[in-house]
Amino acid sequence: MRTNTPIYQRVADDLRAEIADGTRPPGSQLPTEAELQEKYGATRYTVRQGLAALVNEGLIVSRRPLGYFVREIHPMIYRPQQEFRRKQPDLDLFAQLLADEGNGRQPSQDIEVAIVQPNATTRDRLKLNESELLAARRRTRYIDGEPYNINDSYVRLSFVQDSEFMSPVDVARGTNQVLADLGKPLVRALDEIYVRMPKPEEVTRLKLGPGTPVAEHIVTTYTFDDEPVQVTINIVPGDRHVIVFERTREWPPTEQGASE
C-alpha cells in the first residue's frame, strides 16, 4: 500500500499522525523543509505540497521566515443561550474544560448602524413585504484587539426608527430590552447553524487563515404571538469558538423521544 502513496502525501500523513497523537503538540515547530527533503529524499516542491495540504486542513500554520508550526486553537465559549438563560448551576464540565478560556482577555466591539434592503435570508424569516426596509445593527467583536466574530441584527425599520436601536453605541440595557420597551418582547428563538467556508469579505473582516471554516449562526426571535421581530446573523470562525448549548428534560418524559 505504502509504496503507492505519493511522497507529498506521505509527508502530510506522517506529520498529521504525529499531530493527532500528541507527538507534535500545539505551538511546536515542525521540521524545516530542508530536513523533510532529506528525510524523504524529496524535492523542495514535493515537501511544500505536503505542508500545503496540512495548511489547508487547518492543522499547521506557516510563519515566515520562522517556518511551520502546529496550529494552536484556544476556542472561546460561544453560548447562544446566554441571552435567554435562566440561571442554573453550571455543569462541572464547564469548569473543567471550558470555563477559564476568557480569563484576562479584553473584549471590545465596533458598532455600525445602517438602513438596508432585505435579502432572501431576512425577507423569508421576517415575512417582509417587497417595500419594507430594515434597520441593521452590525457589530464586529474583538478580543485583545483581534477580530473574533461578526454579529449583524436586522429589524423592520418602522419598529425602531426613532429608538436607541439606531444609535451606533453600546446600549447598556441591551437591544432586546429596547425592543421589549417598544412592545416587542422576544420570548422565543430559532437557531440555525450552517457550516461552510468563509466568503472573501469574511476572510478580510475576520483575518481568517487558510483551512478555517465558519459557522453562520442565524437567530430568528419571536414574540408571544410567534411574530418574527429580529434576525441576527453571526459569523463564527471555527478556530476561535466552541458553540455550546445546554439541555434538560423531565423524567420520566412526558413524551417518549427516540434516541437513534
130 binds a copy of itself (CB under 8 A): no
Within 35-64, the residues that bind a copy of itself by CB under 8 A are: 56-58
Cβ atoms of residues 224 and 180 within 8 Å? no
181 binds a copy of itself (CB under 8 A): no
Q: Please select the residue that binds a copy of itself; options are 161, 187, 204, 207, rule is CB under 8 A.
A: 187
| Own/partner pairs, 1-10, CB within 8 angstroms, 24+ separation | 7/40, 7/42, 7/46, 7/50, 8/42, 8/46, 8/47, 8/49, 8/50, 8/53, 9/50, 9/53, 10/40, 10/50
228 binds a copy of itself (CB under 8 A): yes
CB of 95 to a copy of itself, least distance (A): 11
In the chain, the amino acid numbered 60 is I
Q: Please select the residue that binds a copy of itself; options are 34, 97, 99, 114, rule is CB under 8 A.
A: 97
Q: Please select the residue that binds a copy of itself; options are 39, 63, 85, 105, rule is CB under 8 A.
A: 85
| Own/partner pairs, 88-96, CB within 8 angstroms, 24+ separation | 88/246, 91/246
Q: Please select the residue that binds a copy of itself; options are 75, 128, 132, 205, rule is CB under 8 A.
A: 75
241 binds a copy of itself (CB under 8 A): yes
Which residue is listed with cell 453571526?
234
Q: Please select the residue that binds a copy of itself; options are 82, 103, 106, 129, rule is CB under 8 A.
A: 82
